[in-house]
Amino acid sequence: MAQTTTTTLDAWVPSELISADILQETRPNIVVAGLVQREFLGAGQGKVWEQTQLPTTAAAGVDEAADLAAAARTPATTASITIGEVGLSTEVTDLALETAILNDLAVWARSSGRAIAQKVDGDLCALLAGLNSSGTGAVGISGQNLSVANFIEAIYTLELANAPGQKVCVLHPVQKMDLFTALTDASNGAAVFTNLPELVREGRLPDGLSANGFWGVFCGVPIYVTTEVETANAGADRCGAMFVREAITLVQLRPLRVEYQRDASARSTEVVATIAYGVGENVDTFGVPIITDA
């Protein structure tokens, strides 16, 4: 007689239901992905996403009877992002499930989902150092703590670039603490942000922005914190950034998918998590790296 066991039942759970459960687990680990431009590439449209960047120009006043002449425009550039696949497979034996305290395949599935989420955010953070390469470069000083002046300079840099929309800042926890110390240091008269914990508790955010990793708002710029922010200068510094949504694009072909695959002869079950996406710069000058002491 065929039997339905806890192991085989887990193996037969529809992948859509598994993925929905895993998404609830992974959302808190997704910080930067919620702050950048999101695009979706439909099936059958290849694996390269492209977006034309319109050239900048200036308008001028004209006389009522004037016949406008066409002005020469600089060539447009194109942002191009190639889709790739990211995956993680874990094979759990029946004996491991039957003897371990955490004897639930969902535990392994949630762990795989978190790993995928961190990979997406890590890939996005890897782009921060390359922002503003066609402009004035990064703000901050290698080996020195993040200061209020660095933060204001980043705002100023984006304003000079006419970066549109809401500015956001992504920092490593070390940079966050340096900024917090600078903002609350009464010895130099800079205790201007002592209400930051209250802002976090109230959860006040500009409309449309993610709350994951949210720390507070300074000078109208929401600040987010993630350990995925990479090192710079041979590990001496961390490279956060300030940017607007159009600076970086995340292109998704296939969302996070988690499936179970039963291997009866091996008496085990594979937990397979995959996603297909690509990341890249969209408008280089719409972001600025913040490189300060690690």
Residue 204, pLDDT > 70, answer no
In this structure, of 100-104, 167-171, 185-189, 259-263, the range with the lowest mean pLDDT score is 185-189
61 belongs to a structural domain: no
Chain position carrying tokens 């702050």? 35
91 belongs to a structural domain: yes
Kindly report, residue by residue over 123-140, the tens digit of the pLDDT. 999 999 999 988 788 999
Which region, left, alpha or beta, applies to residue 187 given φ > 0 means left and ψ of -120 to 50 means alpha? alpha
Q: Are residues 231 and 269 in the same domain?
A: no
Q: Are residues 46 and 154 in the same domain?
A: no
For 34, phi and psi rounded to 5 degrees? -85, -5
Number of domains in the chain: 2
Q: How many residues does the chain have?
A: 294
Q: Are residues 114 and 200 in the same domain?
A: no
Residues 6+ apart with CB under 8 A from 104: 97
189: domain CATH number? 3.30.2320
pLDDT class for 25, splitting at 50, 70, 90? Answer: low
Average pLDDT estimate for 264-284: 90
> What is residue 109's predicted lDDT score, i.e. its pLDDT?
75
Residues 6+ apart with CB under 8 A from 273: 22, 87, 88, 89, 109, 112, 113, 115, 116, 256, 257, 258
Q: What is the extent of the structural domain holding 185?
A: 132-248+284-293
Share of the chain above pLDDT 70, in %: 80
In this structure, of 59-73, 144-158, 186-200, the range with the lowest mean pLDDT score is 186-200
Q: Are residues 164 and 243 in the same domain?
A: yes
Neighbour count for residue 185 (Cβ, 10 Å): 13
Q: Are residues 152 and 185 in the same domain?
A: yes
In this structure, of 41-55, 72-86, 182-196, 209-223, the range with the lowest mean pLDDT score is 182-196
Q: Are residues 161 and 288 in the same domain?
A: yes
29 belongs to a structural domain: yes
In this structure, of 71-75, 177-181, 244-248, 266-270, the range with the lowest mean pLDDT score is 71-75
H-state helical runs in the chain: 6-12, 15-26, 94-99, 105-125, 148-160, 173-184, 196-202
Q: Are residues 160 and 289 in the same domain?
A: yes
Report d(CA 37, CA 61) in Å as an integer. 34
Q: Are residues 144 and 87 in the same domain?
A: no
Contact 132, 285 (CB under 8 A): yes
Task: Supply the DSSP symbol for 235.
Answer: T
Q: Are residues 139 and 253 in the same domain?
A: no
Report d(CA 174, CA 214) in Å as an integer. 15
Report d(CA 71, CA 27) in Å as an integer. 48
59 belongs to a structural domain: no
206 belongs to a structural domain: yes
105: domain CATH number? 3.30.2400.20
> What is residue 66's predicted lDDT score, i.e. its pLDDT?
87
Give the residue from 113, 231, 243, 249 showing the smallest Cα distance to 173.
Answer: 231
Report d(CA 65, CA 4) in Å as an integer. 84
Higher pLDDT, 107 or 294: 294
Q: Are residues 259 and 235 in the same domain?
A: no
Q: Are residues 13 and 104 in the same domain?
A: yes
> What is residue 24's predicted lDDT score, i.e. its pLDDT?
58
Report d(CA 80, CA 189) in Å as an integer. 47
CB crowding 118-153: b at 16 or more within 10 Å, else e: bbbbbbbbebbbebbeebeebbbeeeebbbbebbeb
Long-range contacts of 52-55 (CB under 8 A, 24+ apart): 52/76, 52/77, 52/78, 53/77, 53/78, 53/79, 53/282, 53/283
Q: Are residues 289 and 187 in the same domain?
A: yes
Share of the chain above pLDDT 90, in %: 37
| pTM of the complete model | 0.81
Average pLDDT estimate for 207-222: 81
Amino acid identity for residue 70 in this structure = A
